[in-house]
């Protein structure tokens, strides 16, 4: 059965990079046998107009995949068709932000600094406001940071309001599911979007076509991050990659 689809939704096939490989964060952990650059280019050549790259090691403070991300960004730039790329994971300084922008990233996601370093967040905002997206990582409405490893007393709504005060213009709500069977927390996502008035995309718990179909009932959610490895297992997802980059 075809997925009912709307061009208003922005879909980002997402490559979670750990130890130089693409790993899955959806349900049971899996590692792709395919080289990250090859998988990224296959997503692009298959119709993707957006990609999200997440440096899991950098988010955890256990090294980084910076050179690999640079290679992927170079590969994307080599294509004639425009592809917008969002980079996340461990972006906590102006030097890191400038590096990825110079390599061709369109958006940069900042999360942990909202919890740990308000000064760094303000410095990033002063230089890179138009590139920045605030990550609100939460489980059951309560936020986590440092690659989901540390809990925070802030609710998703409180952190989103803080991000808006800093001057962030976009939000990424990463809903960390309690289990592989858990339904996406659209209630919190919509509350965050409505209260802040900021455009919001959602990730984390969007792990199957039914979840994408459900987004249609929640117009506050403008798009979704979908684990790139899920496209391997469900060809129905390939049909949703064609929306124009904006």
Domain boundaries, the chain: 10-240
Instruction: Find out whether 226 and 12 touch, Cβ atoms under 8 Å.
Output: yes
Q: What is the pLDDT of residue 1?
A: 41
Q: What is the pLDDT of residue 147?
A: 67
Q: What is the pLDDT of residue 41?
A: 94
Ranges of the chain with pLDDT below 50: 1-3, 243-244, 246
Q: How far apart are CA 243 and CA 48, in angstroms?
A: 8
Place of tokens 């955890």: 60
pTM of the model: 0.90
Q: Is 206 exposed, middle or buried (0-12, 13-18, 19+ CB in 10 A)?
A: buried
Q: How far apart are CA 188 and CA 173, in angstroms?
A: 9
Give, in words, the CATH class of 10-240: alpha beta
Instruction: Find out whether 134 and 161 touch, Cβ atoms under 8 Å.
Output: no
Q: What is the pLDDT of residue 215?
A: 86
Q: What is the pLDDT of residue 233?
A: 63
Closest CA to 141 of 129, 133, 151: 151
Q: What is the pLDDT of residue 178?
A: 79
Q: How far apart are CA 209 and CA 197, in angstroms?
A: 27
Q: What is the pLDDT of residue 102?
A: 96
Residues 6+ apart with CB under 8 A from 128: 94, 97, 98, 101, 108
Q: How far apart are CA 36 and CA 168, in angstroms?
A: 30
Residues 6+ apart with CB under 8 A from 10: 50, 201, 222, 223, 224, 243, 246
């Amino acid at each position: 059965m075809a997925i009912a689809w709307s061009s208003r939704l922005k879909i980002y096939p997402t490559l979670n990079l750990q130890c130089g490989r693409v790993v899955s964060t959806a349900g049971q952990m899996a590692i792709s046998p395919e080289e990250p650059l090859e998988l990224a280019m296959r997503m692009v050549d298959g119709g993707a107009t957006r990609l999200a790259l997440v440096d899991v090691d950098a988010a955890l403070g256990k090294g980084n995949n910076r050179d690999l991300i640079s290679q992927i960004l170079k590969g994307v730039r080599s294509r004639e068709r425009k592809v917008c790329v969002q980079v996340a994971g461990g972006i906590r300084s102006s030097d890191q932000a400038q590096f990825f922008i110079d390599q061709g990233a369109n958006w940069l996601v900042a999360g942990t600094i909202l919890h740990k370093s308000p000064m760094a967040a303000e410095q990033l905002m002063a230089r890179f406001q138009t590139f920045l997206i605030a990550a609100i990582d939460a489980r059951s409405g309560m936020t986590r940071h440092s690659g989901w490893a540390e809990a925070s007393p802030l609710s998703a709504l409180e952190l989103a309001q803080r991000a808006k005060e800093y001057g962030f213009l976009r939000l990424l709500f990463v809903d960390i599911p309690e289990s592989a069977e858990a339904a996406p927390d659209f209630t919190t996502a919509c509350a965050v979007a409505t209260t802040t008035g900021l455009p919001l995309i959602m990730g984390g718990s969007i792990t199957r076509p039914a979840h994408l179909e459900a987004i249609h009932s929640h117009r506050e959610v403008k798009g979704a991050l979908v684990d790139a490895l899920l496209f391997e297992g469900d060809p129905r997802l390939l049909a949703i990659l064609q929306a124009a980059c904006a």
